[in-house]
Structure 1
Amino acid sequence: MATDEFDLSEPELTADDVLVLDDERFVPDTVAVVTGAASGIGRATAVALAANGLTVVGADIDEEGLDGTVDLAGDVGTDGEVLPVSTDLTDDDDVAAMIDAAAERGNLRYVANIAGMQHIASIPEFPMEKYDLLLDIMLRAPFLTAKLAMPHIRDTDDGEGAIGNMSSVHGRYATQDKAAYITAKHGLNGLTRSIAAEGAGRVRGFSVSVGYVLTPLMVNQIEDTAAERGISEREVVEDVMLGQARTKEPMTPAEVANLFVFGFSGHSKHLNGGDMLYDGGYSTTYE
Protein backbone atom coordinates (compact mmCIF):
# COMPACT_ATOMS: atom_id res chain seq x y z
CA MET A 1 0.00 0.00 0.00
CA ALA A 2 1.35 3.44 -0.88
CA THR A 3 1.15 6.21 1.65
CA ASP A 4 -0.82 8.35 -0.78
CA GLU A 5 -3.69 5.84 -0.67
CA PHE A 6 -4.77 7.15 2.73
CA ASP A 7 -4.50 10.48 4.48
CA LEU A 8 -1.90 10.58 7.26
CA SER A 9 -3.36 13.70 8.83
CA GLU A 10 -5.47 13.37 11.96
CA PRO A 11 -9.18 13.24 11.01
CA GLU A 12 -11.58 15.82 12.39
CA LEU A 13 -13.85 14.40 15.09
CA THR A 14 -17.59 14.89 14.61
CA ALA A 15 -20.65 13.96 16.65
CA ASP A 16 -21.29 11.02 14.32
CA ASP A 17 -17.95 9.47 15.28
CA VAL A 18 -18.80 9.17 18.98
CA LEU A 19 -20.33 6.12 20.68
CA VAL A 20 -23.14 7.32 22.97
CA LEU A 21 -24.52 4.83 25.47
CA ASP A 22 -27.49 4.83 27.81
CA ASP A 23 -25.87 4.40 31.23
CA GLU A 24 -27.26 5.45 34.60
CA ARG A 25 -23.85 6.75 35.70
CA PHE A 26 -23.26 8.82 32.56
CA VAL A 27 -24.60 12.04 34.07
CA PRO A 28 -23.05 15.47 34.82
CA ASP A 29 -22.51 14.61 38.49
CA THR A 30 -20.16 11.81 37.44
CA VAL A 31 -16.61 12.95 36.82
CA ALA A 32 -13.95 11.41 34.61
CA VAL A 33 -10.27 12.39 34.48
CA VAL A 34 -8.55 12.17 31.11
CA THR A 35 -4.82 12.76 30.84
CA GLY A 36 -3.21 13.78 27.58
CA ALA A 37 -6.43 15.60 26.75
CA ALA A 38 -4.85 18.32 24.61
CA SER A 39 -4.54 16.21 21.46
CA GLY A 40 -4.96 12.85 19.79
CA ILE A 41 -6.60 10.00 21.68
CA GLY A 42 -6.81 11.98 24.91
CA ARG A 43 -8.67 14.83 23.23
CA ALA A 44 -11.05 12.44 21.50
CA THR A 45 -11.70 10.55 24.74
CA ALA A 46 -12.41 13.72 26.69
CA VAL A 47 -14.91 14.83 24.06
CA ALA A 48 -16.49 11.36 23.76
CA LEU A 49 -17.04 11.09 27.51
CA ALA A 50 -18.50 14.60 27.62
CA ALA A 51 -20.78 13.61 24.73
CA ASN A 52 -22.05 10.84 27.02
CA GLY A 53 -23.03 13.43 29.62
CA LEU A 54 -20.09 13.16 32.02
CA THR A 55 -18.15 16.03 33.51
CA VAL A 56 -14.60 15.60 32.25
CA VAL A 57 -11.42 16.98 33.78
CA GLY A 58 -9.10 17.19 30.80
CA ALA A 59 -5.50 17.30 31.96
CA ASP A 60 -2.41 18.20 29.95
CA ILE A 61 0.67 20.39 30.11
CA ASP A 62 -0.38 21.98 26.79
CA GLU A 63 -2.83 24.71 27.82
CA GLU A 64 -3.47 25.89 24.28
CA GLY A 65 -4.25 22.33 23.23
CA LEU A 66 -6.68 21.97 26.14
CA ASP A 67 -8.48 25.10 24.95
CA GLY A 68 -8.81 23.40 21.56
CA THR A 69 -10.36 20.36 23.22
CA VAL A 70 -12.91 22.55 25.00
CA ASP A 71 -13.72 24.21 21.67
CA LEU A 72 -14.12 20.84 19.98
CA ALA A 73 -16.53 19.69 22.68
CA GLY A 74 -18.56 22.81 21.98
CA ASP A 75 -18.51 22.15 18.24
CA VAL A 76 -19.66 18.56 18.78
CA GLY A 77 -22.42 19.76 21.11
CA THR A 78 -21.63 17.58 24.12
CA ASP A 79 -24.13 17.31 26.99
CA GLY A 80 -21.29 17.15 29.50
CA GLU A 81 -18.58 19.72 30.17
CA VAL A 82 -14.84 19.51 29.57
CA LEU A 83 -12.91 21.33 32.29
CA PRO A 84 -9.28 22.04 31.33
CA VAL A 85 -6.72 21.55 34.10
CA SER A 86 -3.11 22.38 33.28
CA THR A 87 -1.09 19.44 34.61
CA ASP A 88 2.54 18.44 34.50
CA LEU A 89 2.40 14.69 35.04
CA THR A 90 6.01 14.66 36.23
CA ASP A 91 5.03 16.93 39.15
CA ASP A 92 3.37 15.06 42.03
CA ASP A 93 1.69 18.22 43.31
CA ASP A 94 0.17 18.85 39.89
CA VAL A 95 -1.17 15.30 39.74
CA ALA A 96 -2.69 15.69 43.21
CA ALA A 97 -4.27 19.01 42.19
CA MET A 98 -5.73 17.34 39.09
CA ILE A 99 -7.45 14.67 41.19
CA ASP A 100 -8.62 17.23 43.75
CA ALA A 101 -10.15 19.34 40.98
CA ALA A 102 -12.03 16.30 39.70
CA ALA A 103 -13.30 15.30 43.16
CA GLU A 104 -14.55 18.82 43.79
CA ARG A 105 -16.78 18.69 40.70
CA GLY A 106 -18.80 15.61 41.65
CA ASN A 107 -18.45 11.86 41.99
CA LEU A 108 -15.06 10.88 40.62
CA ARG A 109 -15.60 7.42 39.12
CA TYR A 110 -13.46 7.16 36.00
CA VAL A 111 -9.85 7.78 35.05
CA ALA A 112 -8.40 7.43 31.56
CA ASN A 113 -4.59 7.43 31.69
CA ILE A 114 -3.83 8.30 28.09
CA ALA A 115 -0.91 10.77 28.08
CA GLY A 116 2.07 9.42 26.21
CA MET A 117 5.14 10.26 24.22
CA GLN A 118 7.69 8.50 22.04
CA HIS A 119 11.42 8.56 21.36
CA ILE A 120 13.08 6.54 18.61
CA ALA A 121 16.60 5.26 19.30
CA SER A 122 18.45 2.00 19.79
CA ILE A 123 19.18 0.94 23.36
CA PRO A 124 22.90 1.87 23.24
CA GLU A 125 21.98 5.32 21.88
CA PHE A 126 18.91 5.93 24.03
CA PRO A 127 19.31 9.08 26.21
CA MET A 128 18.60 8.25 29.84
CA GLU A 129 16.81 11.56 30.38
CA LYS A 130 14.36 10.55 27.63
CA TYR A 131 13.96 7.09 29.15
CA ASP A 132 13.20 8.60 32.55
CA LEU A 133 10.74 11.09 31.06
CA LEU A 134 8.80 8.42 29.14
CA LEU A 135 8.60 6.17 32.20
CA ASP A 136 7.54 9.10 34.41
CA ILE A 137 4.69 10.07 32.10
CA MET A 138 3.47 6.65 31.00
CA LEU A 139 4.02 4.51 34.09
CA ARG A 140 4.76 6.49 37.24
CA ALA A 141 2.06 9.12 36.64
CA PRO A 142 -0.66 6.50 35.99
CA PHE A 143 0.34 4.75 39.23
CA LEU A 144 0.14 7.99 41.20
CA THR A 145 -3.14 8.92 39.53
CA ALA A 146 -4.63 5.54 40.47
CA LYS A 147 -3.25 5.83 44.01
CA LEU A 148 -4.96 9.20 44.49
CA ALA A 149 -8.17 8.44 42.59
CA MET A 150 -9.08 5.06 44.08
CA PRO A 151 -10.07 6.45 47.51
CA HIS A 152 -12.40 8.97 45.83
CA ILE A 153 -14.01 6.25 43.72
CA ARG A 154 -14.55 4.15 46.84
CA ASP A 155 -16.14 7.14 48.57
CA THR A 156 -19.00 7.35 46.04
CA ASP A 157 -22.41 6.05 47.12
CA ASP A 158 -21.78 2.57 45.72
CA GLY A 159 -17.98 2.67 45.55
CA GLU A 160 -17.88 1.70 41.89
CA GLY A 161 -15.81 3.03 39.01
CA ALA A 162 -12.98 2.16 36.68
CA ILE A 163 -9.46 3.16 35.72
CA GLY A 164 -8.61 2.66 32.06
CA ASN A 165 -5.00 2.69 30.86
CA MET A 166 -3.83 3.38 27.32
CA SER A 167 -1.58 0.46 26.51
CA SER A 168 -0.51 -0.71 23.04
CA VAL A 169 0.42 -3.70 20.95
CA HIS A 170 3.86 -2.77 22.29
CA GLY A 171 2.59 -3.83 25.70
CA ARG A 172 2.44 -7.37 24.30
CA TYR A 173 5.62 -7.62 22.25
CA ALA A 174 8.64 -5.57 21.23
CA THR A 175 10.00 -3.96 18.10
CA GLN A 176 13.33 -2.25 17.76
CA ASP A 177 14.23 1.33 18.71
CA LYS A 178 11.33 1.90 21.15
CA ALA A 179 12.70 0.38 24.34
CA ALA A 180 11.38 3.00 26.78
CA TYR A 181 7.89 3.02 25.27
CA ILE A 182 7.75 -0.78 25.27
CA THR A 183 9.00 -0.99 28.86
CA ALA A 184 6.39 1.53 29.99
CA LYS A 185 3.51 -0.24 28.23
CA HIS A 186 4.46 -3.64 29.62
CA GLY A 187 4.55 -2.11 33.08
CA LEU A 188 1.22 -0.39 32.53
CA ASN A 189 -0.39 -3.76 31.87
CA GLY A 190 0.90 -4.90 35.26
CA LEU A 191 -0.55 -1.81 36.90
CA THR A 192 -3.90 -2.55 35.27
CA ARG A 193 -3.97 -6.02 36.78
CA SER A 194 -2.88 -4.69 40.15
CA ILE A 195 -5.80 -2.25 40.17
CA ALA A 196 -8.15 -5.12 39.40
CA ALA A 197 -6.59 -7.26 42.12
CA GLU A 198 -7.16 -4.56 44.74
CA GLY A 199 -10.45 -3.22 43.42
CA ALA A 200 -12.63 -5.92 45.00
CA GLY A 201 -14.71 -6.12 41.82
CA ARG A 202 -15.95 -2.58 42.34
CA VAL A 203 -13.03 -0.46 41.15
CA ARG A 204 -12.20 -2.05 37.83
CA GLY A 205 -8.93 -1.77 35.97
CA PHE A 206 -8.66 -2.31 32.23
CA SER A 207 -6.32 -1.42 29.40
CA VAL A 208 -6.81 -0.56 25.75
CA SER A 209 -4.28 -1.84 23.23
CA VAL A 210 -4.28 -0.69 19.64
CA GLY A 211 -1.87 -0.63 16.74
CA TYR A 212 -1.18 2.59 14.90
CA VAL A 213 -3.55 5.51 15.35
CA LEU A 214 -3.66 8.70 13.30
CA THR A 215 -2.43 11.05 16.00
CA PRO A 216 0.32 13.70 16.02
CA LEU A 217 2.45 11.21 18.00
CA MET A 218 2.25 8.63 15.20
CA VAL A 219 2.63 11.05 12.32
CA ASN A 220 5.67 12.69 13.92
CA GLN A 221 7.47 9.39 14.51
CA ILE A 222 7.32 8.30 10.85
CA GLU A 223 10.22 10.59 9.94
CA ASP A 224 12.22 9.56 13.03
CA THR A 225 11.74 5.85 12.30
CA ALA A 226 12.74 6.32 8.67
CA ALA A 227 15.95 8.06 9.71
CA GLU A 228 16.79 5.50 12.40
CA ARG A 229 16.27 2.50 10.11
CA GLY A 230 17.58 4.06 6.90
CA ILE A 231 14.37 3.46 4.95
CA SER A 232 11.81 5.70 3.28
CA GLU A 233 8.78 7.13 5.07
CA ARG A 234 6.57 5.08 2.74
CA GLU A 235 8.37 1.91 3.82
CA VAL A 236 7.83 2.88 7.47
CA VAL A 237 4.07 3.00 6.92
CA GLU A 238 3.81 -0.05 4.67
CA ASP A 239 6.35 -2.40 6.25
CA VAL A 240 6.84 -1.25 9.84
CA MET A 241 3.55 0.25 10.96
CA LEU A 242 1.02 -1.78 8.98
CA GLY A 243 3.14 -4.63 7.67
CA GLN A 244 1.75 -7.36 9.94
CA ALA A 245 -1.74 -5.94 10.28
CA ARG A 246 -4.65 -7.50 8.43
CA THR A 247 -6.68 -4.29 8.55
CA LYS A 248 -4.59 -2.07 6.32
CA GLU A 249 -5.42 1.32 7.74
CA PRO A 250 -4.62 3.08 11.01
CA MET A 251 -7.33 3.63 13.62
CA THR A 252 -8.71 7.07 14.31
CA PRO A 253 -8.60 8.73 17.75
CA ALA A 254 -12.41 8.59 17.92
CA GLU A 255 -12.40 4.82 17.42
CA VAL A 256 -10.03 4.44 20.36
CA ALA A 257 -12.02 6.91 22.48
CA ASN A 258 -15.13 4.80 21.97
CA LEU A 259 -13.34 1.84 23.56
CA PHE A 260 -12.91 3.89 26.74
CA VAL A 261 -16.59 4.88 26.64
CA PHE A 262 -17.58 1.23 26.42
CA GLY A 263 -14.98 0.20 29.02
CA PHE A 264 -16.33 2.67 31.58
CA SER A 265 -19.95 1.74 30.94
CA GLY A 266 -22.07 -0.85 32.71
CA HIS A 267 -21.76 -3.04 29.61
CA SER A 268 -18.18 -3.79 30.68
CA LYS A 269 -18.72 -4.97 34.24
CA HIS A 270 -16.73 -8.13 33.49
CA LEU A 271 -13.83 -6.22 31.94
CA ASN A 272 -11.53 -6.23 34.95
CA GLY A 273 -7.78 -6.64 34.66
CA GLY A 274 -8.27 -7.37 30.98
CA ASP A 275 -6.99 -5.74 27.84
CA MET A 276 -9.16 -4.56 24.94
CA LEU A 277 -7.04 -5.52 21.92
CA TYR A 278 -8.01 -3.74 18.70
CA ASP A 279 -4.94 -4.05 16.49
CA GLY A 280 -6.29 -5.29 13.18
CA GLY A 281 -4.64 -8.66 13.70
CA TYR A 282 -1.20 -7.09 14.07
CA SER A 283 -0.09 -9.12 17.09
CA THR A 284 -2.24 -12.21 16.65
CA THR A 285 -1.66 -13.32 13.06
CA TYR A 286 1.28 -13.99 10.77
CA GLU A 287 1.96 -15.16 7.25
Structure 2
Amino acid sequence: MSDADLPDTDLTRESLLTLDDPRFTPDNVALVTGAASGIGRATAAGLAATGLTVVGADIDEDGLGGTADIVADVADEGAFHEAPTDLTDDEDVAAMVEAAAEAGQLRYVANIAGMQHISPISNFPMEQYDLLLDVMLRAPFLTARHAMPHIQNADDGAGAIGNMCSVHGHYATQDKAAYITAKHGLRGLTRSIAAEGEGSLRSFSVSVGYVLTPLMENQIADTAAERGISESEVVENVMLGQARTKEMMTPAQVANLFTFGFSSHGQHLNGGDMLWDGGYTTTYE
Protein backbone atom coordinates (compact mmCIF):
# COMPACT_ATOMS: atom_id res chain seq x y z
CA MET A 1 0.00 0.00 0.00
CA SER A 2 1.46 3.35 -1.02
CA ASP A 3 1.24 6.68 0.78
CA ALA A 4 -1.26 7.74 -1.90
CA ASP A 5 -3.66 5.11 -0.57
CA LEU A 6 -3.58 6.59 2.92
CA PRO A 7 -5.90 9.43 4.03
CA ASP A 8 -4.68 12.97 4.63
CA THR A 9 -4.10 13.43 8.37
CA ASP A 10 -3.32 17.15 8.37
CA LEU A 11 -5.25 19.03 11.05
CA THR A 12 -7.03 22.03 9.58
CA ARG A 13 -10.02 24.08 10.61
CA GLU A 14 -11.95 22.48 7.73
CA SER A 15 -11.22 18.94 8.95
CA LEU A 16 -12.57 19.64 12.45
CA LEU A 17 -16.22 19.68 13.49
CA THR A 18 -17.25 22.98 15.06
CA LEU A 19 -20.64 23.35 16.68
CA ASP A 20 -22.51 26.23 18.25
CA ASP A 21 -23.12 25.16 21.82
CA PRO A 22 -23.93 27.32 24.86
CA ARG A 23 -21.23 25.57 26.93
CA PHE A 24 -18.50 25.74 24.28
CA THR A 25 -16.97 28.96 25.59
CA PRO A 26 -13.49 29.94 26.86
CA ASP A 27 -14.82 29.96 30.44
CA ASN A 28 -15.34 26.20 30.23
CA VAL A 29 -12.48 23.71 30.18
CA ALA A 30 -11.86 20.39 28.49
CA LEU A 31 -9.05 18.17 29.78
CA VAL A 32 -7.48 15.94 27.11
CA THR A 33 -4.91 13.24 27.85
CA GLY A 34 -2.52 11.99 25.18
CA ALA A 35 -2.63 15.48 23.69
CA ALA A 36 0.90 15.47 22.26
CA SER A 37 0.07 13.45 19.14
CA GLY A 38 -2.48 11.45 17.19
CA ILE A 39 -6.10 11.38 18.34
CA GLY A 40 -5.34 13.31 21.53
CA ARG A 41 -3.73 16.14 19.59
CA ALA A 42 -6.63 16.24 17.14
CA THR A 43 -9.19 16.23 19.95
CA ALA A 44 -7.41 19.04 21.77
CA ALA A 45 -7.35 21.07 18.57
CA GLY A 46 -10.96 20.27 17.75
CA LEU A 47 -12.29 21.25 21.17
CA ALA A 48 -10.27 24.46 21.16
CA ALA A 49 -11.70 25.23 17.70
CA THR A 50 -15.20 25.11 19.23
CA GLY A 51 -14.21 27.86 21.68
CA LEU A 52 -13.36 25.80 24.76
CA THR A 53 -10.26 26.28 26.85
CA VAL A 54 -8.28 23.03 26.56
CA VAL A 55 -5.74 21.64 29.00
CA GLY A 56 -3.65 19.09 27.15
CA ALA A 57 -1.77 16.48 29.16
CA ASP A 58 1.03 14.22 27.99
CA ILE A 59 4.43 12.96 29.09
CA ASP A 60 5.85 14.29 25.79
CA GLU A 61 6.52 17.98 26.43
CA ASP A 62 7.88 18.65 22.95
CA GLY A 63 4.76 17.12 21.44
CA LEU A 64 2.55 19.36 23.57
CA GLY A 65 4.37 22.34 22.11
CA GLY A 66 3.52 21.10 18.64
CA THR A 67 -0.13 20.78 19.63
CA ALA A 68 -0.10 24.36 20.93
CA ASP A 69 1.11 25.52 17.51
CA ILE A 70 -1.73 23.67 15.76
CA VAL A 71 -4.33 25.08 18.16
CA ALA A 72 -3.07 28.57 17.39
CA ASP A 73 -3.79 27.88 13.70
CA VAL A 74 -7.28 26.39 14.05
CA ALA A 75 -8.84 28.11 17.07
CA ASP A 76 -10.12 31.69 17.13
CA GLU A 77 -11.32 31.81 20.75
CA GLY A 78 -10.31 28.61 22.53
CA ALA A 79 -7.02 28.53 24.41
CA PHE A 80 -4.57 25.69 25.01
CA HIS A 81 -2.59 25.06 28.19
CA GLU A 82 0.15 22.46 28.37
CA ALA A 83 0.15 20.07 31.33
CA PRO A 84 3.16 17.72 31.24
CA THR A 85 1.92 14.61 33.03
CA ASP A 86 3.05 11.08 33.79
CA LEU A 87 -0.22 9.16 33.92
CA THR A 88 1.43 6.39 35.96
CA ASP A 89 2.12 8.87 38.78
CA ASP A 90 -0.89 9.47 41.04
CA GLU A 91 0.34 12.89 42.15
CA ASP A 92 0.81 13.94 38.54
CA VAL A 93 -2.74 12.88 37.70
CA ALA A 94 -4.13 14.86 40.62
CA ALA A 95 -2.09 17.91 39.62
CA MET A 96 -3.28 17.57 36.01
CA VAL A 97 -6.93 17.74 37.05
CA GLU A 98 -6.26 20.66 39.38
CA ALA A 99 -4.53 22.53 36.57
CA ALA A 100 -7.63 22.01 34.42
CA ALA A 101 -9.91 23.21 37.22
CA GLU A 102 -7.79 26.32 37.71
CA ALA A 103 -8.02 27.20 34.01
CA GLY A 104 -11.79 27.71 34.23
CA GLN A 105 -14.87 25.60 34.88
CA LEU A 106 -13.88 22.00 34.20
CA ARG A 107 -16.73 20.36 32.29
CA TYR A 108 -15.22 17.84 29.90
CA VAL A 109 -12.59 15.12 30.09
CA ALA A 110 -11.31 13.13 27.12
CA ASN A 111 -9.27 10.12 28.27
CA ILE A 112 -7.36 9.36 25.09
CA ALA A 113 -3.77 8.47 26.05
CA GLY A 114 -2.87 5.01 24.82
CA MET A 115 -0.06 2.66 23.96
CA GLN A 116 0.40 -0.80 22.51
CA HIS A 117 2.55 -3.89 22.88
CA ILE A 118 2.33 -6.82 20.46
CA SER A 119 3.06 -10.24 21.93
CA PRO A 120 1.27 -13.56 22.54
CA ILE A 121 0.04 -14.09 26.10
CA SER A 122 2.60 -16.83 26.74
CA ASN A 123 5.44 -14.36 26.15
CA PHE A 124 3.78 -11.10 27.18
CA PRO A 125 6.12 -9.13 29.50
CA MET A 126 4.30 -8.40 32.74
CA GLU A 127 5.92 -5.00 33.05
CA GLN A 128 4.37 -4.07 29.69
CA TYR A 129 1.00 -5.47 30.76
CA ASP A 130 1.10 -3.41 33.95
CA LEU A 131 2.16 -0.26 32.08
CA LEU A 132 -0.63 -0.54 29.51
CA LEU A 133 -3.25 -1.11 32.19
CA ASP A 134 -1.89 1.77 34.29
CA VAL A 135 -2.01 4.23 31.39
CA MET A 136 -5.24 3.12 29.69
CA LEU A 137 -7.47 1.96 32.56
CA ARG A 138 -6.16 2.99 35.98
CA ALA A 139 -5.32 6.55 34.91
CA PRO A 140 -8.77 7.19 33.36
CA PHE A 141 -10.37 5.90 36.58
CA LEU A 142 -8.20 8.16 38.73
CA THR A 143 -8.74 11.11 36.40
CA ALA A 144 -12.51 10.62 36.65
CA ARG A 145 -12.24 10.28 40.43
CA HIS A 146 -10.61 13.71 40.66
CA ALA A 147 -12.60 15.39 37.88
CA MET A 148 -16.15 14.33 38.73
CA PRO A 149 -16.50 16.58 41.80
CA HIS A 150 -15.36 19.60 39.80
CA ILE A 151 -17.86 18.91 37.03
CA GLN A 152 -20.68 18.25 39.47
CA ASN A 153 -19.93 21.49 41.32
CA ALA A 154 -20.46 23.56 38.19
CA ASP A 155 -23.38 25.98 38.21
CA ASP A 156 -25.62 23.37 36.56
CA GLY A 157 -23.52 20.25 37.24
CA ALA A 158 -23.38 19.53 33.51
CA GLY A 159 -20.46 18.00 31.65
CA ALA A 160 -19.17 14.73 30.26
CA ILE A 161 -16.28 12.29 30.41
CA GLY A 162 -15.40 10.61 27.13
CA ASN A 163 -13.17 7.53 26.98
CA MET A 164 -11.18 6.39 23.95
CA CYS A 165 -12.20 2.78 23.43
CA SER A 166 -11.74 0.66 20.29
CA VAL A 167 -13.13 -2.20 18.27
CA HIS A 168 -10.86 -4.13 20.63
CA GLY A 169 -13.27 -3.19 23.39
CA HIS A 170 -15.83 -5.31 21.54
CA TYR A 171 -13.83 -8.27 20.30
CA ALA A 172 -10.36 -9.76 20.49
CA THR A 173 -7.55 -10.44 18.06
CA GLN A 174 -4.23 -12.15 18.59
CA ASP A 175 -1.22 -10.74 20.44
CA LYS A 176 -2.88 -7.68 22.04
CA ALA A 177 -4.13 -9.06 25.35
CA ALA A 178 -3.23 -6.05 27.51
CA TYR A 179 -4.73 -3.54 25.08
CA ILE A 180 -7.89 -5.60 24.69
CA THR A 181 -8.26 -6.02 28.46
CA ALA A 182 -7.87 -2.28 29.01
CA LYS A 183 -10.37 -1.35 26.30
CA HIS A 184 -13.00 -3.78 27.59
CA GLY A 185 -12.47 -2.29 31.04
CA LEU A 186 -12.96 1.25 29.72
CA ARG A 187 -16.46 0.37 28.58
CA GLY A 188 -17.23 -0.75 32.12
CA LEU A 189 -15.76 2.43 33.56
CA THR A 190 -17.83 4.49 31.13
CA ARG A 191 -21.02 2.85 32.35
CA SER A 192 -20.00 3.26 35.98
CA ILE A 193 -19.43 7.00 35.55
CA ALA A 194 -22.83 7.31 33.86
CA ALA A 195 -24.47 5.42 36.72
CA GLU A 196 -23.08 7.90 39.24
CA GLY A 197 -23.42 11.05 37.13
CA GLU A 198 -27.06 11.72 38.01
CA GLY A 199 -27.93 12.49 34.40
CA SER A 200 -26.20 15.86 34.12
CA LEU A 201 -22.66 14.45 34.21
CA ARG A 202 -22.63 12.08 31.25
CA SER A 203 -20.10 9.52 30.11
CA PHE A 204 -19.54 7.82 26.78
CA SER A 205 -16.88 5.89 24.94
CA VAL A 206 -15.71 6.08 21.34
CA SER A 207 -14.85 2.86 19.50
CA VAL A 208 -13.20 3.01 16.11
CA GLY A 209 -11.20 0.71 13.91
CA TYR A 210 -7.68 1.46 12.79
CA VAL A 211 -6.71 5.14 12.80
CA LEU A 212 -3.65 6.50 11.03
CA THR A 213 -1.66 7.75 14.03
CA PRO A 214 2.02 7.51 15.03
CA LEU A 215 1.03 4.66 17.38
CA MET A 216 -0.59 2.87 14.45
CA GLU A 217 2.45 3.31 12.25
CA ASN A 218 4.55 1.60 14.93
CA GLN A 219 1.95 -1.13 15.32
CA ILE A 220 2.02 -1.85 11.59
CA ALA A 221 5.76 -2.50 11.82
CA ASP A 222 5.41 -4.60 15.00
CA THR A 223 2.59 -6.71 13.58
CA ALA A 224 4.55 -7.31 10.38
CA ALA A 225 7.51 -8.55 12.39
CA GLU A 226 5.36 -10.69 14.69
CA ARG A 227 3.47 -12.38 11.83
CA GLY A 228 6.33 -12.52 9.33
CA ILE A 229 4.50 -10.56 6.62
CA SER A 230 5.06 -7.25 4.88
CA GLU A 231 3.76 -3.94 6.23
CA SER A 232 1.49 -3.52 3.19
CA GLU A 233 -0.02 -6.95 3.90
CA VAL A 234 -0.66 -5.88 7.50
CA VAL A 235 -2.63 -2.83 6.36
CA GLU A 236 -4.54 -4.47 3.52
CA ASN A 237 -5.24 -7.90 5.00
CA VAL A 238 -5.02 -7.59 8.78
CA MET A 239 -6.21 -4.06 9.47
CA LEU A 240 -8.58 -3.38 6.60
CA GLY A 241 -9.35 -6.96 5.64
CA GLN A 242 -12.45 -7.31 7.81
CA ALA A 243 -13.70 -3.75 7.38
CA ARG A 244 -16.30 -2.78 4.80
CA THR A 245 -15.05 0.81 4.69
CA LYS A 246 -11.68 0.32 3.04
CA GLU A 247 -9.89 3.33 4.44
CA MET A 248 -8.30 4.08 7.79
CA MET A 249 -9.89 6.83 9.85
CA THR A 250 -7.98 10.03 10.50
CA PRO A 251 -7.36 11.52 13.95
CA ALA A 252 -9.60 14.48 13.04
CA GLN A 253 -12.52 12.17 12.27
CA VAL A 254 -12.20 10.59 15.70
CA ALA A 255 -11.81 13.97 17.40
CA ASN A 256 -15.08 15.06 15.79
CA LEU A 257 -16.89 12.24 17.59
CA PHE A 258 -15.69 13.60 20.94
CA THR A 259 -16.82 17.10 19.99
CA PHE A 260 -20.28 15.79 19.09
CA GLY A 261 -20.45 13.64 22.23
CA PHE A 262 -19.58 16.54 24.51
CA SER A 263 -22.06 18.88 22.84
CA SER A 264 -25.73 19.34 23.67
CA HIS A 265 -26.47 17.16 20.62
CA GLY A 266 -25.15 14.24 22.69
CA GLN A 267 -27.62 14.83 25.52
CA HIS A 268 -28.91 11.25 25.43
CA LEU A 269 -25.51 9.66 24.93
CA ASN A 270 -24.87 8.45 28.46
CA GLY A 271 -23.05 5.23 29.27
CA GLY A 272 -23.12 4.28 25.59
CA ASP A 273 -20.41 3.54 23.07
CA MET A 274 -20.07 5.38 19.77
CA LEU A 275 -19.13 2.50 17.48
CA TRP A 276 -17.74 3.89 14.20
CA ASP A 277 -15.82 0.88 13.01
CA GLY A 278 -16.45 0.61 9.28
CA GLY A 279 -18.11 -2.76 9.79
CA TYR A 280 -15.29 -4.48 11.70
CA THR A 281 -17.49 -5.91 14.44
CA THR A 282 -20.89 -5.93 12.74
CA THR A 283 -20.24 -7.79 9.47
CA TYR A 284 -18.37 -10.88 8.37
CA GLU A 285 -17.79 -12.91 5.25
TM-score range, shorter-chain basis?
Answer: over 0.9
Instruction: Quote how far apart the aligned CAs of 1:177 are.
Output: 0.4
SS state at 2:63 partner = helix
Mapped to 2, the partners of 1:151 and 1:16 lie a distance apart of: 35
Mapped to 1, the partners of 2:75 and 2:226 lie a distance apart of: 43
Mapped to 1, the partners of 2:30 and 2:107 lie a distance apart of: 6
Structure 1 residues 231-240 or 272-281, which shifts more?
Answer: 231-240
Q: Which residue of 2 aligns with 1:63?
A: 61
Match of 2:279 among 256, 278, 281: 281
Preserved CA contact (<8 Å) 1:3 1:238: no
Structure 1 residues 232-241 or 245-254, which shifts more?
Answer: 232-241
SS state at 1:249 partner = coil
Q: Which residue of 2 aligns with 1:225?
A: 223
SS state at 2:140 partner = helix
Q: Which residue of 2 aligns with 1:203?
A: 201
Preserved CA contact (<8 Å) 1:247 1:280: yes
Q: Which residue of 2 aligns with 1:163?
A: 161
1:203-253 CA-to-partner distances (Å, cap 9, x unmatched) read 111000000001000011111101111111111111110001000000000
Mapped to 2, the partners of 1:54 and 1:223 lie a distance apart of: 37
Preserved CA contact (<8 Å) 2:6 2:248: no
Q: Which residue of 1 aligns with 2:82?
A: 84
Mapped to 2, the partners of 1:239 and 1:125 lie a distance apart of: 25
What are the equivalent positions in structure 2 for 1:65-214 lying under 5 Å apart? Answer: 65-214=63-212
SS state at 1:57 partner = strand
In structure 2, relative to structure 1, the CA distance for the partners of 1:205 and 1:77 (3 Å cut) is: closer
The unaligned stretches of length 5 or more in structure 1 are: none
1:141-183 CA-to-partner distances (Å, cap 9, x unmatched) read 0000000000000100000110000000000000000000000
Residue correspondences, number: 285
Q: TM-score, normalised by structure 1?
A: 0.98
SS state at 2:248 partner = coil
1:70-128 CA-to-partner distances (Å, cap 9, x unmatched) read 00111224420010000000000000001101111111000000000000000011100
SS state at 2:62 partner = helix
Q: Which residue of 2 aligns with 1:6?
A: 5
Letter in 2 for 1:40: G
RMSD: 1.0
Q: Which residue of 1 aligns with 2:21?
A: 23
Letter in 1 for 2:265: H
The unaligned stretches of length 5 or more in structure 2 are: none
Mapped to 1, the partners of 2:62 and 2:161 lie a distance apart of: 26
Letter in 1 for 2:216: M
Mapped to 1, the partners of 2:80 and 2:123 lie a distance apart of: 40
In structure 2, relative to structure 1, the CA distance for the partners of 1:78 and 1:240 (3 Å cut) is: farther
Instruction: Quote how far apart the aligned CAs of 1:50 are.
Output: 0.3
Preserved CA contact (<8 Å) 1:3 1:237: no
Letter in 1 for 2:6: D
Letter in 2 for 1:69: T
Preserved CA contact (<8 Å) 1:162 1:204: yes
Q: Moved runs in structure 1, 4+ residues, more than 3 A?
A: 2-5
Preserved CA contact (<8 Å) 1:47 1:78: no
